[in-house]
Chains A and B, each alone.
Chain A
Amino acid sequence: MRIVNLKVNGVGKTFIARPETTLLLALREQLGLTGAKRGCAQGACGSCTVLLEGEPVVSCLVPAVTVDGADIATVEGLADGPALSHVQQAFLDGFATQCGFCTPGMIMSAEALLDRNPDPTRDEVNEAISGNVCRCTGYEPIVSAILDAAVRRREGAKL
């Protein structure tokens, strides 16, 4: 058992973790942040994607004790009150979510992509979400929504 400190969506959090506690289960069961989902618990589906120091990781494979002191971003931290992030709004407007189970992970992968590459090509979007499985949409609306979000972000930045 170890005490772990994290900064989650900008807020300091402290909890006790066993060696085998994953970041995913710590977020979901100890910090009450259930946006990240468990689809496989083996790094294969991307439903549990969160940002660790700005980089997307599959949180089901990250032991919580190994990231003591880190900065974590989850889907819950994206909206500013009722104002959604550009990616969230583009997913909503572009019908890029059906059952919604892959959506939080997909959105976090998209946020990370646009943070480092504000004007990605379609291929770069495909690459960025290649670790996120969606069984409902067929991906097309998701890829289009991410490209749409990139435009909205760039235009937002110009305002």
Chain B
Amino acid sequence: MPRVNPIDSDYFKDERPDDKFSVIGKTVQRSDALGHVTGRTEFFEDRTFPDLAHVKIHRSAHHHARINSVDVSEALRVPGVLRVITHRDVPSNWYMVLRLIGIEPNDEPVLAEDRVLYKGEPIVAVVADSEAAALEGAARVKVDYTVLPAVLDVEAALAPDAPVIKQAGTNYFVYEGHHARRLRFGDVEQGFAQADRIFEWRYSSAPIEHAPTETTGCVVVPQSSGRLLIHSNTQAAFFTLDNTALILDRPFTDLQVKGGTVGGGFGGKVDVMVEPLACIAATLTNRPVKFVYTREEEMQVSSPRAAERIYIKDGVMNDGRIVARKVMLYVDSGAYSRHSPYGTTKACAHLPGPYTIPNVYADCHCVYTNRTPSSAMRGFGVTIADFALESQMDRIARALEMDPLQFRLKNAYRDGDLKAHRKVAEGTALIEVIQRAAALVGHELPEEYQAMSSRGAGA
């Protein structure tokens, strides 16, 4: 049996009058495990359909280019090729997943029109009798480009002389008229002026690919009713249904999505990349159509976790209290928005970390570059911000020759504290978590730190 740490239910007992956990702290078998070990779990690609056709994509060879012309004549001559699909075949050629919650502008074509903004951007889809014929057809598409200067770095993209790559006119997402998602609390400059010490460091991360063992894909089957049945490995069946319907310009009720079995997702199967084109191919050919990424596509063009660059400047008193924190954060959204405007807002909402700091200033930029569009991945926005924030905490503690846990405890937020977002903190447990973690690893804390509580001195 796996090790399961017993739940210590002594903490905050009075907040749970009826303390009966039926699942938490117990070992519960997954409902799908028997299917997994017997090989009977049905992943989308485990279904076979007579007369199945296949979609493969011709992709941009450049990071940034104008498309002068596209020639599909040789692709159409490949035996087995049934159709080619260009942007003209896409009823509403916009993918913008966040429009479901009112976020604008639409910025990503399903298939490129007159320009490409990243290497690997889809330009033409080829539908064929076999996977091999579809691949051969896609390889034979000819695109004539005028290569344009590419922007591959977030700060370079914001420089005044940077080429503007986005049609909306800025290389950054505009948050209600502003260049960044902003956080303003207290007076950060005054905080720096009163601080004993100033610490400023830069943190950066590379894009991270989820690399699920099962690549992104779907099979779309036209139904006799005229509806399209989509077998998908999406993590987000309703994102798929709604966005596909918007792109097809058809009522939502025309589509049925069957999903829920995902061979690894981690956020990488939240965007709607394969279903719209597979639906168009199925409609045009009236055949079941499979569109599944090759491993190369999964690695090159599926959205990774965004690269981020984060500058943190802290004003700290000699006793270890942080009195001011300024964060300049840059999320590399790549060429298009996908979930990054939302991820950047999450990053901002997470600042200044779980600490009570009286003066906070942050600008969180969602920046466009000519790199692969980034998007969701496990805790995106928060994860890399935490890497930076907690590295900063360790470095300051070291500089002050303080114990890193004591330094955190001194600054930890507590119930009743006003957070930088002007929300009163409640349900905090950072202090107790640190105390418990310290005890588990045998890290001794002085009496006054052991006596601390999230209930807060001031609360």
Contacts and interface: CB of A to CB of B under 8 A. Distances in A.
B259 interface: no
A21 to B, nearest CB: 11
Interface residues of A, number: 45
Interface stretch (B158-166, B261-269, B359-367, B398-406): B261-269
Interface stretch (B58-66, B211-219, B224-232, B236-244): B211-219
11 contacts: A28-B48, A33-B39, A34-B43, A34-B46, A37-B263, A39-B213, A79-B38, A93-B1, A94-B2, A103-B39, A135-B266
Nearest to B45: A38
A104 interface: yes
Contacts of B210: 135
Nearest to B2: A95
B35 interface: yes
B68 interface: no
Contacts of B262: 99
Nearest to A140: B2
Interface of A: 20, 28-29, 32-42, 44-45, 47, 74-76, 78-79, 84, 88-89, 91-95, 97-104, 107, 133-136, 141, 144
Contacts of B30: 95, 97-98
Q: Which 8 A-B pairs have the closest CB atoms?
A: A35-B39, A100-B36, A101-B263, A75-B39, A34-B46, A40-B295, A97-B36, A88-B37
Nearest to A107: B37
Contacts, number: 107
Interface string B37-52: 1111111011010000
Given A88-B37, A103-B37, A37 B213 contact: yes
B295 A44 contact: yes
B1 A100 contact: no
Interface string B12-38: 000000000000000101101111111
B132 interface: yes
Which of A38, A94, A102 has the largest number of chain B CB atoms within 10 A? A38
Contacts of B45: 34, 37-38
A76 B38 contact: yes
Contacts of A100: 32-33, 35-37, 41, 263
A41 B294 contact: yes
A44 B43 CA distance: 20
Given A37-B45, A74-B39, A100-B263, 16 more contacts: A34-B46, A35-B39, A39-B215, A39-B263, A47-B214, A84-B38, A92-B34, A97-B33, A99-B36, A99-B213, A99-B265, A101-B43, A101-B213, A101-B263, A133-B213, A135-B213
A146 B34 CA distance: 16
B38 A135 contact: no
B158 to A, nearest CB: 34
Interface string B258-280: 00001111100000000000000
B79 to A, nearest CB: 14
Interface string B286-310: 0000000011000000000000000
B48 A75 contact: no
A37 B38 contact: no
A contact patch SS: loop
A34 B341 CA distance: 39
Contacts of A103: 36-37, 39
A40 B213 CA distance: 8
Contacts of A144: 2
A97 B1 CA distance: 13
A26 B41 CA distance: 19
A28 B34 CA distance: 20
B326 to A, nearest CB: 37
Nearest to A94: B2
B135 to A, nearest CB: 11
Given A37-B214, A99-B214, A100-B32, A135 B264 contact: yes
Given A92-B34, A97-B36, A134 B213 contact: yes
Nearest to A34: B46
B37 A97 contact: yes
A47 B42 CA distance: 15
A28 B292 CA distance: 16
Nearest to B215: A39
A128 B42 CA distance: 27
B213 A32 contact: no
A135 B275 CA distance: 24
A20 B132 contact: yes
A92 B27 CA distance: 12
Given A37-B263, A79-B38, A135-B266, A92 B213 contact: no
A79 B40 CA distance: 11
B1 A94 contact: yes
Contact of A99 (B38, B215, B264): B264
Contacts of B29: 92
A32 B48 contact: yes
B42 to A, nearest CB: 8
A40 B292 CA distance: 11
A8 to B, nearest CB: 13
Contact of B37 (A29, A45, A91): A91
A100 B37 CA distance: 7
A29 B48 contact: yes
A132 B265 CA distance: 18
Contact of A102 (B1, B35, B213, B295): B213
Contacts of B264: 99, 101, 135-136
